[in-house]
Amino acid sequence: MRLTILGSGGGSGVPNPFCLCANCEAVRRTGGRSLRNAPAVLINGDLLIDCGPDVYNSAKQLGVRLNGLRTLVITHRHSDHLDPWFFWGRRGVVDTELPLLTVYAPQDVLDQVFAFYERNVRWDRAALEVQTRTAWRPVGAGMMKLAGRYRLHFFPATHGEGQLEAVLVGVQDAHGAYLHCYDTGPLTDEAWGMLARHRFDLVALDACIGGETGYQSPEHMNGPQTIDHARRMRESGILKPEGVALATHFVHQAAGAHEDLVAYYEPHGLTVSYDGLELTVGE
């Protein structure tokens, strides 16, 4: 299983163009891996997780094509994970035959995208599906879906404060398994119980709050919480002994230069994500 991190940031990405905070300024000085687009992960060139406003730019910058995409998972409807215009570009392709793209997302994501196209383009769901060559499937925590060569397992995220549905997703193919926990606070007992039946080669963990350890969020993790989740996953076997734990979803309020994040997380056995990071996991 081959993963490409298209975006390792969260929210407005890093830096925020309106912001002159010490982190944003440090990131502007260092550039490179410190610059972070909104979250998206591409697997084997045919499965994408999340489609926020930076995916087109990430693809451009990294030389990635999305014409092979067959499966899209949208974890929740926050704006860094879902830009409804993402689908618009699928209409304009030339000399390209796009395979059907099946989209798995919570029902409120489907509702939002359908309402968006109804309002802006006067397309109903059927028109959207034909025009963008997509098929939409609602999912929720506890469900499993067979998507081509993948098994998708959905787990409850601690995120959204009751205002929206949010899922974590486990992606398994014949070679490996990846657990995507980009946006979540500390996992619930229910989530731990469901995860206990799984073995992953790679887990990406929310590291949104980082070293701001005085701050406890109901929907993101601070550094010690991220580190503790990686340790617990390893100890319980949810993450295989040789598996990789990735700290990700960095925001400018907490994350500055990449090297500083490496110094913070790597001594605890976590790899620090960056845009363009490629990983091959499993057999």
Q: Using alpha carbons, list the distances in angstroms from residue 226 to 23, 196, 213, 282.
A: 20, 18, 11, 23
Tally of CB atoms within 10 A around 110: 19
How many of the chain's residues bind Zn ion (CB under 5 A)?
9
Instruction: Specify the residue, 3 or 128, whose C-beta has the smaller distance to Zn ion.
Output: 3
d(CA 236, CA 23): 35
Which range touches Zn ion (CB under 5 A), out of 3-11, 87-95, 120-128, 234-242? 3-11
Contacts of 108 (CB under 8 A, 6+ apart): 77, 164, 165
Judged by beta carbon, residue 110 or residue 128, the one nearer Zn ion is 110
Determine if 78 is a binding residue for Zn ion (CB under 5 A): yes
Kindly write out the interface string for residues 84-123 of this chain, putting x where it contacts Zn ion by CB under 5 A and - elsewhere.
----------------------------------------
Identified binder of Zn ion from the candidate list 24, 43, 51, 82, rule CB under 5 A: 24
> Considering the rule CB under 5 A, would residue 10 count as an interface residue with Zn ion?
yes
Smallest separation (angstroms) from Zn ion to the CB of 274: 16
Q: Pick from 46, 54, 80, 275: which binds Zn ion (CB under 5 A)?
A: 80
Q: Judging by DSSP bridges, how do beta strands 134-138 and 101-105 pair with one another?
A: parallel
| Cis ω for the linkage preceding 156 (within 30 of 0) | no
Single out the segment in contact with Zn ion by CB under 5 A; choices: 21-29, 102-110, 173-181, 224-232: 21-29
CB count in 10 Å sphere of residue 267: 9
Contact segment (CB under 5 A) with Zn ion among 90-98, 102-110, 146-154, 250-258 equals 250-258
Distance, in Å, from the CA atom of 49 to the CA atom of 72, rounded to the nearest integer, reads 6
The encoded tokens of residue 26 equal: 């440090």
**Residues 6+ away with beta carbon under 8 Å from 33:** 258, 274, 275
Q: Choose which of 252, 273, 279, 281 interacts with Zn ion (CB under 5 A).
A: 252
CB of residue 249 vs Zn ion: minimum separation in angstroms?
6
**Strand partners for 279:** 3
Q: Closest approach of Cβ 188 to Zn ion, in Å? A: 16
Judge residue 209's burial from the number of C-beta atoms within 10 Å of its C-beta, 0-12 exposed, 13-18 middle, 19 or more buried: buried
Q: How far is the CB of 81 from Zn ion (least distance, A)?
A: 6
Q: Please report, as a single letter, which amino acid is at residue 71.
A: T
Binding to Zn ion by CB under 5 A, coded x per residue (else -) over 147-186, reads ------------------------------------x---
**Coil, strand or helix at 238:** coil
Residues that bind Zn ion (CB under 5 A): 10, 16, 19, 21, 24, 78, 80, 183, 252
